[in-house]
Structure 1
Amino acid sequence: MSDSLRPLARPRLYEQVVASLREYVQAERLKAGDRLPPERDLADRLGVSRTSVRQAIVALEVQGLVEVRHGGGTYLLRDRLDAEPLEVMIDRRRRLPDVLDARDALETKLAALAATRRTDNDLEKIDAALAAMTDAVQRGELAVAEDQRFHAAVTAAAHSALLADFMAEISQPIAESRTESLRQPGRPAQSLHQHQLIAEAVRSGDPEAAARAMHTHVDSVGHVKLLEWETNSGE
């Protein structure tokens, strides 16, 4: 028998809360920095439990769309609550640890090689990427493209065609891990400092220092709310 008439999946209640919050933000013309109503008020107005509201807020926080200030309420970090589908988040959460392992293995080695093989032209490209990242962070941006540019410059400076090919093979999941990291509050400035340390070690020709700096950076990339997120809705 055909499985085309299989049972329909019912959206979790807190996913419906997220959808309602998105509509509320649009209707009220709220912007980044504005505060959402308290959880108790949201629960009363939506006719749901505070647990469902809290789960919705956590899902938005994981995606870098809101900031929860303990004792101070929930504030928008973006002008819109364009939340990802739950399944997309779960899938990325599942593969992120493997991506981070691969990044650590590959990029730590690439940084060490770059410290011993970089040319003056390579250093110019690394410095240009750093300058662009600095400007982006100072403008309050996440600096995702500039971050990618820096890592590409370090990879090129290693002058290892095979390792560069390996990096290209996993470029998409690496991009996901980069965005996931940089949308954590305060992370762009922290990442900029870490990149400066990597560049300094590469410039000084110290492969061990370059490897340590890159390892520290990739390790911090893994400190994201997504990996702490509990996906059980409970309702």
Structure 2
Amino acid sequence: MSDAHHASETGPQASAEAGAGEGRDFPVRPMRTRLYEQVAEQITTWIAQNGLGTGDRLPPERELASRLGVSRATLSQALVALEVIGVVAVRHGDGTVVTGPPKASRIVDAIRAHADRLPEIIETRDALETKIAALAAARRTDEDLARIHDALQVMEHDIDAGGRGVEGDERFHGAVTAAAHSLLLARLMDEIGDLIKESRIESLSQPGRPRDSLASHRAIADAIGAGDPAAAAAAMHSHVEMVSDVAVLRDGER
């Protein structure tokens, strides 16, 4: 039985251990793309060659970086790109887990498609959520405020534990949207929910971003709690601008 077949059958832990075995080196290709894009392609090729499936773990990041001959920062960016397009999930305390096959013949195509649509996602999100925050400040109930603050606590606890606060972030924006009491705006936000999730993962993976995002969430919550639509809109606009500063939109290493 091949090592690849054995890894697939014996589950996540065996997959990680198999990844550390001899003769299972990552493929190396000529570099014609950004470094993190090349690394992402190497990782997905390795996943396919070794028969890893949904739920299987990749080797630890330190080991991956060493095998690929890249910095932990570059590897982290590659893993985030793969997470955004649905190939892996980076879970605090559980490592990097395969979630599905790439949806494009070349992984770089999928990464760049995400980068190409990101500015439009940001524009749409800013327009919708700024208005939603203003309405929430005018219409929120005590129950709405309780849900908003519960979401902040979830995010804070996750960040304190070393996570990125993704779930709490999602809950917070969902609670603010609900507090606006606008069915049509809620539907519009739902329509772009998957796209926002991509940008959320990308943003919260930037160094120091989770705590910065939490702080700007609190500013939004304070304005909503004070019943100040103008301040809530301004706080939300500033928040979207801040979280939109992501590595994929900057000039990368080539």
Structures share a fold, TM > 0.5?
yes
Instruction: Mark the runs of 5 or more structure 2 residues left unpaired by the alignment.
Output: 1-27, 32-37, 47-57, 82-93
Q: Which residue of 1 aligns with 2:140?
A: 118
**In the TM superposition, what whole-angstrom CA distance separates every residue of 1:124-165 from its partner, at most 9, and x where no partner exists?**
110111111111111111111111110000000001111111
Per-residue deviation, 1:87:
1.5
Q: Which has the larger radius of gyration?
A: 1
Q: Which residue of 1 aligns with 2:185?
A: 163
Change (3 A) 1:197 1:62: farther
Cα distance in 2 for residues equivalent to 1:16 and 1:222: 24
Are 1:22 and 1:80, in contact at CA under 8 Å, matched by a contact in 2? no
Are 1:114 and 1:158, in contact at CA under 8 Å, matched by a contact in 2? yes
**In the TM superposition, what whole-angstrom CA distance separates every residue of 1:157-216 from its partner, at most 9, and x where no partner exists?**
001111111111111101111111011111111111110111011001111111111001
One of 197, 206, 210 as aligned partner of 1:184: 206
**Given the two structures, how large is their TM-score scaled by the length of structure 1?**
0.70
How many residues in Structure 1 have an aligned counterpart in Structure 2? Answer: 194
Q: Which residue of 1 aligns with 2:131?
A: 109
Change (3 A) 1:229 1:126: same
Per-residue deviation, 1:33:
6.1
**In the TM superposition, what whole-angstrom CA distance separates every residue of 1:75-127 from its partner, at most 9, and x where no partner exists?**
xxx95597x72111101000000000000000000001100100011001101
Cα distance in 2 for residues equivalent to 1:151 and 1:143: 12
| 2:218 maps to 1:196 | yes
Cα distance in 2 for residues equivalent to 1:159 and 1:62: 39
Cα distance in 2 for residues equivalent to 1:189 and 1:88: 29
| 2:234 maps to 1:212 | yes
Quote the sequence identity (%): 42
Q: Which residue of 2 aligns with 1:19?
A: 42
Q: Which residue of 2 aligns with 1:137?
A: 159
Q: Which residue of 1 aligns with 2:111?
A: 89
Cα distance in 1 for residues equivalent to 2:108 and 2:44: 15
**In the TM superposition, what whole-angstrom CA distance separates every residue of 1:43-74 from its partner, at most 9, and x where no partner exists?**
xxxxxxxxxx79xx757536548xxxxxxxxx
**Given the two structures, how large is their TM-score scaled by the length of structure 2?**
0.65
